[in-house]
Amino acid sequence: MAVSISSVTATLPSHWKYVSEGGATIVFSYVGPPNSDFDGMVLRLRKSGVQTPVLERQDFGTVAEEPDDASILFQETCMKRLIPSVHLPQLQSVQVDKMWLEVLSLVHEKDRPLKRTVSGGIDTTKCKAVLATDLVGGSGLTVEIKPKWSFLPNKRYLSATNCSIKANTCRFCMHSHMKSGEGETVSLGYCPLDLFSNNRGRMKQAVYSLYDNWLASDGNVNNVKIFVKGTKIGVGQRFFMFSPEAYQESDENVRETFSEAVLTFLMGTPVLRVLNKAQRTLDSLDIEGLSLLWRESQSLVNTPQSTNGYTPPGRAIGIGEPNPSLSDWSAFIDEYLTRPPNLEDLRYHLLAYLLSATFKDCSIMIRMDLLDPRRPQEEVDPSQVIVIDLDPKNIARLKNWEELDEIIIRRYSVVPLADRKTCLDDWVDEA
């Protein structure tokens, strides 16, 4: 149920400032008159024209009937069992209405990037939204990192054709190579396996790469965003990351001070280790192995009849499978945490891959004071490192992921051997 605080609709749309948005949500921060309910908070609204995370979704007509946002339900039921609570955002449900959302959308449409406006706006049919702690506001600095895939797949489940490629070059680096060739701005040179390596030198090189790509893209690269006092900054504002008392920095010193500060927080908390273990243990088969398991299951159940020598193809991966309900997810996590999976358990591996995709697509928010190289960060407050974007994925996306995997491998297979990147995965489970 929605928490018993004053309705968001009692505020004016102008009391909220556009912050950012992704494929599924738009985020606004409260900048209105002092209000104990909303000071230091952000409002996260669902977008129209995109698939809402499904937890037994249906159409709802009133606030009383509409459930809390899937992100709240999923975090409370599932994510708190997999990620330490101190590293999760504080989320609560609030009421909204169609008229207020329409005015909010109209007032802030000009603030949105053009590439986002063409893919959908605020879903004005929703009766509830998510109120969360403002992770980018205040008087300091917030660095958002989207680390992506942390591992190389298990060779056992790869085809002979693809094994030599997938076992040496990580998914992110192959995908970045493809997107760069299509003219998209990507984090070339950044390898997630370095960031997740737990080796300080490799981790620092990864942070260097993230910063260098941020610099080269004028702050538009997807894997790192920087916010100062609640505002996303571009390259021209990079010196705003420093406290007024700090002496004027050179570009090289900015890079070094920024990287050292970020590295202190990443190494001072278990967040990367938690995400790494979750990603690789949930995606134990790779999409190739999962697809093979799916096809074998399809051939055993309801084998299509041959007509005139033609056998109709089976369903694409995931098609016809119901989306997991909240109780399904809870039962799955019980199983995941208590016993090794049965290789033949198709439903288990489908849900596992969906959950791994959530961890592969999440972001890490690092909140800190403005930089000052004279006062390096010594102690890390774990509550300043928060994992966000942990929504459940729709099972219908499995088909798209399988197709994308095939495209990425096909494109990378034509890269000359001498030009292919070698990614090092030396992860050891310390548990």
Contact 276, 427 (CB under 8 A): yes
Domain assignment present for residue 3? The answer is: no
Q: Same structural domain for residues 70 and 148?
A: no
Contact 386, 135 (CB under 8 A): yes
Q: What is the pLDDT of residues 24-60, one digit of tens each?
A: 889 999 999 999 899 989 999 999 875 555 564 444 4
What sign has the CA pseudo-torsion 221, 186, 353, 425? negative
Domain assignment present for residue 188? The answer is: yes
Contact 109, 154 (CB under 8 A): no
Q: Which of 92, 118, 134 is the last residue of a domain?
A: 134
Burial class for 334, CB neighbours closer than 10 Å (0-12, 13-18, 19+): exposed
Contact 396, 350 (CB under 8 A): no
Q: Looking at the predicted structure, is the pLDDT value of residue 414 above 50?
A: yes
**CA neighbor of 198 nearest in space, from 271, 278, 261:** 271
Burial class for 301, CB neighbours closer than 10 Å (0-12, 13-18, 19+): exposed
The pLDDT-based confidence of 247 (bands split at 50, 70, 90) is low
Instruction: Please give the span between the terminal C-alpha atoms of the chain, in angstroms, as a whole number.
Output: 37
**Residues of the chain with pLDDT > 70: what percent?**
90
Q: What is the pLDDT of residues 187-226, one digit of tens each?
A: 989 999 999 999 999 999 999 999 999 999 999 888 999 9
Q: Same structural domain for residues 169 and 286?
A: yes
Query: d(Cα 190, Cα 273) in Å, to the nearest integer?
Result: 18
The pLDDT-based confidence of 5 (bands split at 50, 70, 90) is low
Domain assignment present for residue 1? The answer is: no
Query: d(Cα 163, Cα 156) in Å, to the nearest integer?
Result: 9
Query: d(Cα 360, Cα 418) in Å, to the nearest integer?
Result: 28
Q: What is the mean pLDDT of residues 86-95?
A: 93
Q: Same structural domain for residues 43 and 183?
A: no
Domain assignment present for residue 312? The answer is: no
Q: Same structural domain for residues 356 and 372?
A: yes
Q: Looking at the predicted structure, is the pLDDT value of residue 309 above 70?
A: no
Q: Same structural domain for residues 324 and 422?
A: yes
Contact 59, 82 (CB under 8 A): no
Q: Same structural domain for residues 48 and 148?
A: no
Q: Same structural domain for residues 216 and 104?
A: no
Residue 259, CA atoms < 13 Å, CB-side half-sphere: 22
Domain assignment present for residue 309? The answer is: no
Domain that holds residue 221: 137-300+317-431
Sequential DSSP letters for 54-75: PSS-----STTTSPPPHHHHHH
Q: What is the mean pLDDT of residues 72-90?
A: 95
> How many angstroms separate the Cα of 392 from the Cα of each of 51, 69, 306, 359?
11, 11, 38, 10
Scanning the structure block, which residue is given the tokens 């979704």? 57
CATH number, residue 17: 3.30.200.110
Q: Same structural domain for residues 101 and 150?
A: no
The pLDDT assigned to 303 comes to 52
Q: Same structural domain for residues 262 and 144?
A: yes
Q: For residues 308 and 410, which has the higher predicted lDDT (pLDDT)?
A: 410
What sign has the CA pseudo-torsion 221, 226, 232, 235? negative
Query: d(Cα 397, Cα 254) in Å, to the nearest integer?
Result: 40
Q: Same structural domain for residues 149 and 57?
A: no
Query: d(Cα 175, Cα 192) in Å, to the nearest integer?
Result: 12
Q: What is the pTM of this model?
A: 0.86
Helix (H) or strand (E) holding 141: strand 141-145
Q: What is the pLDDT of residues 318-336, one digit of tens each?
A: 999 999 999 999 999 999 9
Domain assignment present for residue 48? The answer is: yes
Domain assignment present for residue 307? The answer is: no
Q: Which of 113, 134, 155 is the last residue of a domain?
A: 134
Q: Same structural domain for residues 125 and 227?
A: no
Domain count, the chain: 2
Q: Which of 109, 134, 159 is the last residue of a domain?
A: 134
Query: d(Cα 279, Cα 286) in Å, to the nearest integer?
Result: 11
The pLDDT-based confidence of 237 (bands split at 50, 70, 90) is very high
Query: d(Cα 229, Cα 244) in Å, to the nearest integer?
Result: 13
Domain assignment present for residue 13? The answer is: yes
Token pair for 199:
């080796």
Sequential DSSP letters for 313-371: --PPTTTTPPPP-HHHHHHHHHHHHHSPPPTT-HHHHHHHHHHHHHHHS-EEEEEEPPB
What sign has the CA pseudo-torsion 345, 348, 351, 355? negative
Q: For residues 186 and 354, which has the higher predicted lDDT (pLDDT)?
A: 354
Q: Same structural domain for residues 261 and 373?
A: yes
Q: What is the pLDDT of residues 53-76, one digit of tens each?
A: 556 444 444 445 677 888 898 999
The pLDDT-based confidence of 397 (bands split at 50, 70, 90) is very high
Question: How many CB atoms within 10 Å of residue 181?
Answer: 11
